[in-house]
């Protein structure tokens, strides 16, 4: 039976040298992969679908890693005369603003639901929404409808397309965030405009009911307006919501298309 000798020191040294050579060959792609992963992971975390808290954390991490692995061989960029921490800060700012451009629409939908709930007297019926925190039932309903509409119009694929195109429009290391601050403020201000547009039918209906009940109270002061107003608010509010759902289904994709265009404007402003 042949005797087994322990490997010699030369063999161990040769194996270490081979391993170091493999690592050296892979190292040029490592920093490239990490920078691509940085932008893609932040944008995906900010998007309403892929960054949803209802999705498992393993799914979101795996999606970001898979997307970065696919993009790393095809993305071309060079970092010259710029410190790596500065590049990281710029990429984080760009990712937050890109994702927040779309996220603000869903915040607006939740705000519209909150306004409608207050107008109908349903603000006390609150639930914990993992996406928005403490929210009302009406806001939760509008959020579900908005998510279903976005998935029906294939918006999640369009957002992935914009993210992939961002590396061609704005390579890593060439981000200028000086003009993005005002853009972020303007994008945030759209939240209240969209919320008012969505909640306008119910808000106007409730205003008309308030005025009519005021006239009724002046005509017949003996009527207890406080008790009869709540059923009217709730019944008429739900009726207006049902009538205005087709309008919401038609208007919401327009806001989403506008948000997609805003993402391209952000990329154009961030070019050095």
pLDDT digits (tens, 9 = 90+) for 73-109: 877 776 666 677 788 888 888 888 888 888 888 888 8
Q: Using CB atoms within 10 A of its CB, is residue 219 exposed (0-12), middle (13-18) or buried (19+)?
A: exposed
Quick one: tokens of 256? 């989403």
What does the pLDDT read at residue 28?
Answer: 63
Quick one: tokens of 131? 């996406």
CB atoms within 10 A of CB 109: 28
pLDDT tens profile 2-59 = 454 445 445 455 444 444 455 455 566 777 788 888 888 888 888 877 777 777 788 8
pTM score of the predicted model = 0.76
- Decide: helix, strand or coil at residue 82: coil
In angstroms, what CA-CA distances link 120 with 17, 85, 125, 136, 153? 73, 50, 11, 12, 31
Q: Using CB atoms within 10 A of its CB, is residue 175 exposed (0-12), middle (13-18) or buried (19+)?
A: buried
């Amino acid at each position: 039976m042949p005797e087994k000798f322990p490997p010699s020191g030369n063999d161990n040294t040769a194996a270490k040298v081979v391993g170091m050579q493999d690592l050296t060959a892979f190292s040029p792609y490592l920093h490239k992969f990490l920078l691509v992963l940085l932008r893609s992971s932040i944008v995906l975390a900010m998007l309403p679908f892929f960054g949803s808290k209802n999705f498992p954390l393993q799914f979101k991490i795996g999606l970001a890693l898979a997307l970065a692995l696919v993009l790393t061989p095809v993305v071309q960029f060079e970092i010259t005369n710029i410190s790596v921490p500065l590049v990281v800060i710029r990429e984080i700012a760009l990712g937050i603003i890109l994702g927040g451009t779309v996220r603000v629409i869903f915040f607006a939908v939740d705000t519209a639901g909150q306004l409608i709930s207050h107008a109908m007297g349903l603000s006390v019926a609150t639930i914990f929404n993992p996406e928005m925190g403490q929210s009302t039932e009406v806001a939760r309903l509008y959020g579900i409808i908005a998510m279903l509409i976005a998935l029906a119009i294939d918006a999640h694929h369009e957002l992935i397309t914009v993210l992939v195109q961002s590396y061609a429009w704005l390579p890593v290391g060439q981000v200028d965030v000086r003009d993005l601050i005002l853009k972020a403020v303007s994008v945030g201000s759209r939240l209240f405009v969209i919320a008012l547009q969505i909640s306008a039918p119910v808000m106007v209906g409730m205003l008309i009911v308030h005025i009519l009940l005021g006239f009724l109270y002046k005509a017949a002061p003996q009527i207890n307006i406080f008790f009869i107003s709540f059923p009217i608010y709730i019944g008429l509010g739900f009726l207006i919501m049902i009538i205005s759902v087709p309008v919401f289904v038609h208007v919401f994709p327009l806001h989403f298309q506008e948000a997609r265009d805003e993402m391209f404007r952000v990329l154009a402003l961030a070019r050095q």
